[in-house]
Amino acid sequence: MSKVVEERERVIIRFAGDSGDGMQLAGSRFTDATAVLGNDLATLPNLPAEIRAPAGTLAGVSAFQIHFASRDILTPGDVPDVLVAMNPAALRANFGELSRGATIIVNEDAFTKRNLEKAGYGDVNPLDDGSLSEFRVHRIPMTTLTTRAVESVEDASTRDAGRAKNLFALGVISWLYGRPTEVIERWITGKFGERPAVAKANLAAFNAGWSFGETTELLSVQYRVAPATDMAPGTYRNITGTTALTLGLLAASVRSRVPMLFASYPITPASEILHELSRRGRHGISTVQAEDEIAAAGIALGASFGGRIGVTATSGPGMDLKAETIGLAVMLELPLVVIDVQRAGPSTGMPTKTEQSDLLLALYGRHGESPLPVIAPSTPGDCFDAAFEAVSLAIRYRTPVILLSDGFLATSSEPWRVPSVADLPAIDPNFAVAPEGEEGWQFEPYSRDERLVRPWAIPGTPGLAHRIGGLEKSDRTGHISYDPKNHARMTELRAAKIAGIADELPPLRVDGDSDASVLVLGWGSSYGAILGGARRVRLRGEKVAIAHLRHLNPLPANIGDVLRSFDRVVVPELNSGQLAQLLRARFLVDVESFTKIEGQPLWAPEVERLILGDVEQAATSTNGGGAR
Amino acid sequence: MTAVTDLHEGNGHSGPLTKADFQSDQETRWCPGCGDYAVLAAVQQFMPELGIPPERIVFITGIGCAGRFAYYMDTYGMHGIHGRAPAIATGLATAREDLSVWIVSGDGDALAIGGNHLIHALRRNVPVKILLMNNEIYGLTKGQASPTSVVGQVTKSTPFGVADQPFNPLALAIGAEATFVARTLDRDRHHMTDVLRAAAAHEGAALIEIYQNCPVFNDGTFFALTEKETRDANQIRLEAGRPIRFGSGGERGVMMDSGGRLRIVDVAEVGEGALLVHDPGRGDPGLAFALAKLSADVSGPTPIGVFRDVERAVFGRGSAAAGGAASEDQLAELLLGGSTWTVS
Ligand code: SF4
């Protein structure tokens, strides 16, 4: 049977099923095959909050979304073109986000009376009641077909058959979008090599899904998404924000020749960093799973005192507990990297959901005047650069640095151009040593260089033994001091040192139309959505400029000028307007705040609507003159 | 005792280390008569014996009167945050195996706000020596009840007497799987030095409880053990391999009764052979625990010395952070990861 092949520029597929159905695996394997094919892509998992939510219920639905295209893409996409629903709950949980005409592929076998009830459909089967008439629905008895395919495999159990239906679904979708089968087959063989029966069962299921696509009349069209051609030359890999971040830390350790000690306490979603780094023992990184968040910060700071790079990572609630140690690090002026993978708060909030609501906490959430650098990555791959920079700043300025990632960045993925090691800047820890042969020389731990940076004198260095602590210290000597003028001076010095970092920062870059009246200014993980939204607007022939902040403290030196050079400045954030509030206070500019606090990332169409609204409004107010 | 050689390594000094090499130029600021002075002097006096140059010794302290200790030692030091010294020291000791790391803490610092860090440092067997100055009161904040204040003790925060059960620091440490647990007295330099020596020789975490007199807020609490008139009758000095006896003529001792309980007995009545022979190296912590709990309070016979000293794997030994950073080749390989593709 010959099938029609249609070209598509971009496709968004969402794999959804019960958390036991293996949807994350199906999605990741599809991603691998897509990456190898040379499509640009972005992915995002959506995991249930409970580890073992009751099977078949809405709470137990796990999903994985992939957006791939023949040109560069910026986000994992919002509205899926294709939904794979392994049970009624998966259909029900995701149905609301589909637009008319979308393709729905269901495991028909799972639409039993009991499953329909658990999903809240009662005794109505949505496959039969006409409610899906505006969609292209493919009903495939996946459980039956998988069982049949696996039956022929020697030694495979019924359990193996039951667990392989995700690979059947993956086979169908792989055929539908012409993904190479070898990548997935190789993975299956590698993964289950030790259990040949399981490997064979999974291969059988995958191949059965593929052949089903090829032969059935249900699916009449196969789609082709050509390799992306607008990617810069280089070697690429697919990477999540978490992996990029850990590699950035590691790279900074290599380029500074300073070993690293990473300490953290398990917390969602930051734990993944601990998991990844705990495998790096042979690569100059030790990990300690601390007894609590406070200890994790203290252990990291202790290592920094010893001349290592102390790093700790957490999510929202953990930041509250780390505050006192961060304050101590400000006072001690020692390097410390604190990674906050932000999640929806307050309190426990929604641990698996993303948010950007720790910005003001990072900037100000400590007692006393305690300024420190705050930086935020903008894409999964950018987590590498941000982590590298965080370590570099911490070492070179002897200061704690807060890196604000978030759940969305940590778990989503994109193709990443692998940097060459030689291109990464070297970081000079510049450890202090005593001068030779200078009679009567006295070490002053709080003397400063021209950037106001104090010496990093580590235990073991002869002639530099000294004591530091949380008490206010005397300028230069570091002795305890309660002198009023000295406290004022030290407070100023600490602030000036951090503010001075702005001297080495690149100016805030404005992209898009420099003659636009509207500037969209963002920070952190909303970069892709803002860029995508701006692109949509410009395709419509409207003008818009965008800028994105990597450095939240200190801010780039030219930001005030940028803000003042546009009629309107819109700041979209996943919080209640924290950056907007800051900019208004600092620069007296009437910044317009767009806020979204739903535990979901910002999406390009939202930004598009936002900008269009503003463009029109801006036009009205300019043209309106004095008419009103 | 370790041979003392020239350990000044480029300090511009020469000759063997002395107490003076460990005295910083900072003026000590404890109240007159405070037990902390005696501990500081004993520690400074003992340090040369370690045979380690001062720059490879680090004192990490918490907050409280004892927290100032770090400023007075001419070594590297950090006066940290309340209760967190064990956490900070854990990071330092893990990252730097070449250092000798000491913690100085108090009963409030170690057992109230820092209780969690203390028990985990002991459990992990982090290579740190912890001096816990127990004065059964909050001194720096001027006289509130601490976790070791005894029931009925009147303090600023308990005008009608402490109502809650205090911690027994040694029993707590043994329960936390500590490998070295000892107790000594601020007013017995000789005993304290013996205990410091044993702790320094121990490979892992060592907890030393020091009964420390606070003349301002809790004067005389430990006098039954420290003063000339009463100390012989009350100090039960634990010595490895020796029957546990005390009293000016060794007329009293400790034995285990048929119910497995430790009892204080007259040697004349039970005979020397019935006495318990002290063995700090015993793997089972039961007897050490029972000895820690032997006295209900410090006004009567109380054991001092090394209760427990056993070997166990030391935390962080051979850790990556204590070595070197990865090589550029290793990094290049990790950056590539598993599957890659090329765009030309
Ligand atoms: S308050 Fe007590 S413990 Fe503190 S310094 Fe004074 S005497 Fe010593």
The residues spanned by each domain of chain B are: 19-232
Q: What is the pLDDT of residues B108-152, one digit of tens each?
A: 999 999 999 999 999 999 999 999 999 999 999 999 999 999 999
- In a mutational test of the B interface, the residue from A467, A477, A481 whose CB has the highest number of chain B CBs within 10 Å is A467
Distance from CA of B314 to the nearest CA of A (A): 14
Other beta carbons less than 10 A from residue B262's beta carbon = 18
Written as six digits, the tokens of B336 are 């590539």
Residues of chain A with CATH 3.40.50.970: 236-423
Helix H or strand E segment including A597 = none
Tell me the CATH class for B19-232: alpha beta
B78 at interface of A, judged by CB pairs closer than 8 A: yes
Instruction: Give residue B343's pLDDT.
Output: 85
Question: In the CATH scheme, what architecture does the domain A510-623 have?
Answer: 3-Layer(aba) Sandwich (3.40)
Yes or no: domain A236-423 corresponds to CATH 3.30.360.10: no
B97 at interface of A, judged by CB pairs closer than 8 A: no
Given an 8 Å threshold on Cβ–Cβ distance, is A288 in contact with B90? yes
Where in A30-129 does DSSP place strands (E)?
A: 40-46, 61-69, 82-85, 103-107
Distance from CA of A463 to the nearest CA of B (A): 5
Query: Would you give the distance in Å from CA B95 to the centre of its chain?
Result: 22
**What b/e readout covers B245-254, taking b as 16+ CB neighbours within 10 angstroms?**
bbbeeeebbb
**What b/e readout covers A84-104, taking b as 16+ CB neighbours within 10 angstroms?**
bbbbbbbbbbbbeebeeebbb
What is the spatial distance between Cα A81 and Cα B187, in angstroms, rounded to a whole number?
80
Instruction: Give residue B7's pLDDT.
Output: 46
Residue minimizing CA distance to atom 3 of ligand 1: B214
Average pLDDT, 10 consecutive residues per value, chain A (628 residues): 80 93 93 86 85 86 93 84 96 92 95 95 92 93 94 83 92 92 89 88 94 85 84 91 98 97 96 94 92 98 98 98 98 98 96 96 98 97 98 98 97 94 97 90 96 98 96 96 98 98 97 94 95 91 96 98 96 97 97 94 90 55 31
Q: Cβ(B38) to ligand 1 under 6 A?
A: no
Distance from CA of A501 to the nearest CA of B (A): 26
Strand partners, A375: A403, A551
What is the spatial distance between Cα A102 and Cα A80, in angstroms, rounded to a whole number?
7
Residues of B in contact with A29 (CB under 8 A): none
Q: Shortest CB distance from B91 goes to which of A247, A261, A461?
A: A261
Instruction: Give residue B322's pLDDT.
Output: 81
Collapsing DSSP to helix, strand or coil, A17 comes out as: strand
Given an 8 Å threshold on Cβ–Cβ distance, is B90 in contact with A302? yes
Collapsing DSSP to helix, strand or coil, B61 comes out as: strand
Chain A, residues 178-197, CB within 8 A of chain B, namely 183
Q: Is A437 left (phi over 0), alpha (psi -120 to 50) or beta?
A: left
- B31 Cα nearest atom in ligand 1: 6
Q: Shortest CB distance from B342 goes to which of A235, A243, A292?
A: A235
* In contact, B310 and B290? CB cutoff 8 Å: no
Going by C-alpha positions, the residue among B279, B286, B331, B269 that lies closest to residue B310 is B279
- B35 Cα nearest atom in ligand 1: 8
Q: What is the pLDDT of residues B196-247, one digit of tens each?
A: 999 999 999 999 999 999 999 999 999 999 999 999 999 999 999 999 999 9
- In a mutational test of the B interface, the residue from A291, A439, A461 whose CB has the highest number of chain B CBs within 10 Å is A291
CB pairs under 8 A between A and B: 243
Could you tell me where the DSSP H helices lie in A192-270?
Answer: 196-215, 241-256
ipTM of model: 0.95
Residues of chain A with CATH 3.40.50.920: 510-623
Residue minimizing CA distance to atom 1 of ligand 1: B139
Given an 8 Å threshold on Cβ–Cβ distance, is A468 in contact with B79? yes
pLDDT at B9 over 60: no
Instruction: Give residue B1's pLDDT.
Output: 36
- How many whole angstroms from A97 Cα to the centroid of ligand 1? 67
Strand partners, A404: A340
- B135 Cα nearest atom in ligand 1: 3
Nearest CA in chain A to B98: A460
DSSP B56: G
Residues of A in contact with B61 (CB under 8 A): 469
pLDDT at B13 over 80: no
**Phi then psi for A283, rounded to 5 degrees?**
-115, 35
Given an 8 Å threshold on Cβ–Cβ distance, is A468 in contact with B78? yes
- How many whole angstroms from A332 Cα to the centroid of ligand 1? 26
Given an 8 Å threshold on Cβ–Cβ distance, is A285 in contact with B321? yes
CATH number of A4-224: 3.40.920.10
Q: Determine the residue type at B303.
A: P
Collapsing DSSP to helix, strand or coil, A570 comes out as: strand
Residues of chain A with CATH 3.40.920.10: 4-224
What is the spatial distance between Cα B66 and Cα B76, in angstroms, rounded to a whole number?
17
B76 at interface of A, judged by CB pairs closer than 8 A: yes
Instruction: Give residue B12's pLDDT.
Output: 47
Q: What is the pLDDT of residues B256-297, one digit of tens each?
A: 999 999 999 999 999 999 999 999 999 999 999 999 999 988
pTM above 0.90, yes or no: yes
